């Protein structure tokens, strides 16, 4: 069944979950698809359709139970648990990633960082110890690392991705500006602000808005 | 016509352009949709369909002219020119953005940064001078700023977005973890590594790969 769910739907679920978290924190018990849609600038129909892939939520005309739907989305997404993460590359970008405080509260714990620069080995960045890159595979195996973050220069990124995959990582967050290749059983997401910029200038040029 | 082009297509064009740049740098004159698709892990049919929105490229069986298609994509996307950018927020994240070397070579020049912290005003971060936030609107007007980057805490992000929009910015790159609202004539893209992580764990949990 999971294979039938479009990836764009999966990509929207974390946004819904975040909005529901905010509503829960604000003490809201119930939310309509209309109200949720207005919060997120999406149509109520899209929300209802996206959620329909996973079962029936909410009662006609009564909206969604905020806590119940949030718990269900967290379970569906697998974000109701801790994930083991490793970071490869602790240059300027990698250091900023290690120091970023947003991962840990959401269950993504960066257990270790790796770099080929021996001058960095043994240092601590954002509370994360830097290991020599040759220890990558053994660390991934011994610590059951699920997710790898790639923050190395473009020229080295595919090789690092290949090593992460060979060592058993199932998901990769890639900050290097390349279209890295992964096998079908590995998931990859790219964080690339330049591509995001370039996808907006089309709309500026045309003098019209794009999407969200 | 532009309104008919799906946003997902627009979002893929910068990826094609980057691949063509790499092929051009490697001395390649012609590329087939098959070869381009293999480079990017997308189907040749998708590439052909995406490009078909913009006219006819390449000759049947002879592939695309790398330089010609690249020039055309750069023109379509509006990335064949310089864009004026301002950055709001020079905390840890904003500083990393200002120091990031990837924007300028692609035509995105960060002309100034703004912060509400007077201790930061007058400092230079990554070659960018920090101004007091109250100067935001006059700077945008006087320097024809096209794009705003938002790197302030979540609680302040919507207010900053509103000010950027009111001052005439047409596109916003938002790093704050909120679903910011913009009018229909303004384009916004979100850089959110936590949401990217959360969209991958669904696939890890299911023990299968997701997309690219």
Kindly report the pTM of this predicted structure.
0.90
pLDDT tens track for A56-110: 887 767 899 999 999 999 999 999 999 999 999 999 889 999 998 899 999 999 9
Q: Which CATH architecture has domain B2-77?
A: Orthogonal Bundle (1.10)
Mind listing the pLDDT tens digit for each residue in A181-191? 999 999 999 99
- CA–CA distance, B53 with B50 (Å, rounded to integer): 6
Task: Provide the pLDDT for residue A55.
Answer: 86
pLDDT in tens, B155-199: 999 999 999 999 999 999 999 999 999 999 999 999 999 999 999
Q: φ and ψ at B110, to 5 degrees?
A: -80, 105
Cβ separation B197–A106 shorter than 8 A: yes
* Helix orientation angle between B7-25 and A193-206, rounded to the nearest 10 degrees: 120
**Residue in A91, A177, A181, A193 to test binding to B, most B beta-carbons within 10 Å:** A193
* Separation CA A83–CA B13 (nearest Å): 33
The CA distance from A100 to the nearest CA of chain B, in Å, is 8
Buried b (16+ CB within 10 A) or exposed e, A131-167: bebeebeebbeeeebbbbbbbbeeebbbebbebbbeb
- Residues of chain A with C-beta less than 8 angstroms from the C-beta of B210: 7, 10, 171, 187-188
Q: What residues of A are in contact with residue B14 (Cβ under 8 Å)?
A: 194-195, 198-199
Report the chain B residue with the minimal C-alpha distance to residue A175: B193
* CA-based nearest distance B123→chain A, Å: 19
Per-domain boundaries in chain A: 2-75, 83-194
Sign of the dihedral defined by the CA atoms of residues B113, B116, B117, B118, in that order? positive
pLDDT for B212: 45
* Residue pointed to by tokens 């047409």: B170
Mean pLDDT of all residues in B10-34: 95
CATH of region B83-194:
3.40.50.720
Residue B134 falls in which region: left (phi positive, over 0), alpha (psi -120 to 50) or beta: alpha
The topology (CATH level 3) of A2-75 is Arc Repressor Mutant, subunit A (1.10.10)
Average pLDDT over residues B54-76: 88
8 A C-beta contact, residue B145 and residue B113: no
């Amino acid at each position: 069944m999971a294979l039938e769910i479009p990836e764009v739907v999966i990509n929207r679920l974390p946004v819904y979950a975040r909005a529901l978290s905010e509503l829960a924190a604000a003490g809201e018990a119930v939310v309509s698809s209309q109200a949720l849609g207005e919060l997120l600038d999406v149509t109520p129909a899209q929300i209802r359709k996206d959620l329909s892939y996973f079962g029936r939520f909410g009662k006609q005309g009564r909206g969604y139970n905020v806590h119940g739907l949030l718990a269900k989305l967290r379970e569906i997404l697998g974000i109701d648990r801790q994930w083991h993460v490793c970071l490869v590359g602790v240059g300027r970008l990698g250091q900023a990633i290690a120091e970023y405080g947003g991962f840990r509260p959401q269950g993504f714990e960066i257990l270790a960082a790796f770099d080929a620069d021996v001058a960095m080995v043994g240092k601590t960045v954002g509370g994360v110890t830097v290991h020599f890159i040759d220890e990558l595979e053994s660390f991934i195996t011994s610590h059951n690392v699920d997710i790898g973050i790639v923050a190395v220069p473009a020229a080295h990124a595919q090789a690092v991705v290949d090593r992460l995959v060979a060592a058993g990582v199932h998901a990769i967050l890639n900050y290097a500006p390349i279209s890295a290749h992964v096998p079908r059983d590995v998931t990859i997401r790219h964080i690339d602000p330049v591509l995001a910029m370039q996808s907006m200038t089309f709309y500026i040029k045309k003098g019209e808005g794009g999407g969200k």
